């Protein structure tokens, strides 16, 4: 019971890193086994199919995101501070913590045209992530820090778009001012609706 759990965790951690670097699609069982240092079949027996592995990697990534981005922001008070903390945590996550690109983004673009369990799962995970943003905006509205007329769905969309934009500017274009642009945008997004 214990041993199996430990190695499975090790596998998922390595798989998470490989996915960040090369995408969920290119994550091959043979290569993963080599990275972990065990046999292909030994690794495979932990997951009964590649699809199940992919699903678990996405869950691992989601937990990681919650742990590194969402949870630390909860120590901040309810309102705009918390939203800004989540934005800054995201920059750190995307820019320094991850060994490669955002595992969700690659999964999204790789699977949004392939119907199946993986696609459905990513959709759910990204949906809850967007809802988390929308909820934090709602809280800021309850605290009278954001105009009650503002749409939390719209704001969540704007914050989300900014995150993806930063990621591409930072990773592909290697824009040195990507972080500043990101901060400028989320601040002006919030200013616009601030009471």
- Helix, strand, or coil (residue 40): helix
What does the alpha-carbon distance between residue 173 and residue 166 come to, in Å, rounded to a whole number? 10
What does the alpha-carbon distance between residue 145 and residue 137 come to, in Å, rounded to a whole number? 9
- 27 Cβ contact list (under 8 Å, min separation 6): 15, 18, 19, 53, 54, 57
CB 178 within 8 A of CB 169: yes
Q: How far is the CB of 194 from a copy of itself (least distance, A)?
A: 14
110 binds, among DNA, a copy of itself, none (CB under 5 to 8 A by kind): a copy of itself
User: By C-beta, is 81 or 153 nearer to a copy of itself?
Assistant: 153
Binding to DNA by residue 40, rule CB under 7 A? yes
What does the alpha-carbon distance between residue 93 and residue 170 come to, in Å, rounded to a whole number? 13
State the number of CA atoms in the 13 A half-sphere of 74 facing the CB.
8
- Phi-psi group of 47: left, alpha or beta (phi > 0 → left; psi -120 to 50 → alpha; rest → beta): beta
194 binds, among DNA, a copy of itself, none (CB under 5 to 8 A by kind): none
113 binds, among DNA, a copy of itself, none (CB under 5 to 8 A by kind): a copy of itself
Q: Choose the binding region for DNA from 3-11, 111-119, 138-146, 170-178 (rule: CB under 7 A).
A: 3-11
Binding to DNA by residue 43, rule CB under 7 A? yes
Chain residues binding a copy of itself by CB under 8 A are 21-23, 25-26, 100-101, 105-106, 108-110, 112-114, 122-123, 126-127, 130, 153-154, 157-158, 160-162, 164-166, 168-169, 171-174, 177-178, 181, 184-185, 188, 192
44 binds, among DNA, a copy of itself, none (CB under 5 to 8 A by kind): DNA
Binding to DNA by residue 48, rule CB under 7 A? yes
101 binds, among DNA, a copy of itself, none (CB under 5 to 8 A by kind): a copy of itself
38 binds, among a copy of itself, DNA, none (CB under 5 to 8 A by kind): DNA
Question: C-alpha angle with apex 166: 164 to 172, nearest 5 degrees?
Answer: 95
Looking at the DSSP assignment, which residues form a beta bridge with residue 146? 194
Chain residues binding DNA by CB under 7 A are 1-5, 7, 27-31, 33, 38-46, 48-51
């Amino acid at each position: 019971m214990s041993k199996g759990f430990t190695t499975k965790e090790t596998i998922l951690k390595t798989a998470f890193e490989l996915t960040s670097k090369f995408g969920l699609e290119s994550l091959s069982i043979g290569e993963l086994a080599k990275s972990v240092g065990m046999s292909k079949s030994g690794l495979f027996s932990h997951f009964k199919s590649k699809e199940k592995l992919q699903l678990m990697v996405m869950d691992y990534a989601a937990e990681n995101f919650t742990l590194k981005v969402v949870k630390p922001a909860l120590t901040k008070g309810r309102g705009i501070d918390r939203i800004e903390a989540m934005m800054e945590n995201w920059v750190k996550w995307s820019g320094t913590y991850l060994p490669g690109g955002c595992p969700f983004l690659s999964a999204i673009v790789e699977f949004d045209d392939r119907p199946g369990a993986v696609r459905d799962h990513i959709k759910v995970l990204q949906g809850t992530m967007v809802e988390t943003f929308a909820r934090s905006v709602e809280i800021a509205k309850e605290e009278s820090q954001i105009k009650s007329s503002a749409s939390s769905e719209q704001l969540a969309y704007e914050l989300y778009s900014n995150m993806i934009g930063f990621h591409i500017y930072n990773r592909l274009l290697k824009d040195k001012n990507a972080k500043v642009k990101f901060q400028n945008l989320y601040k002006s997004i919030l200013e616009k609706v601030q009471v």
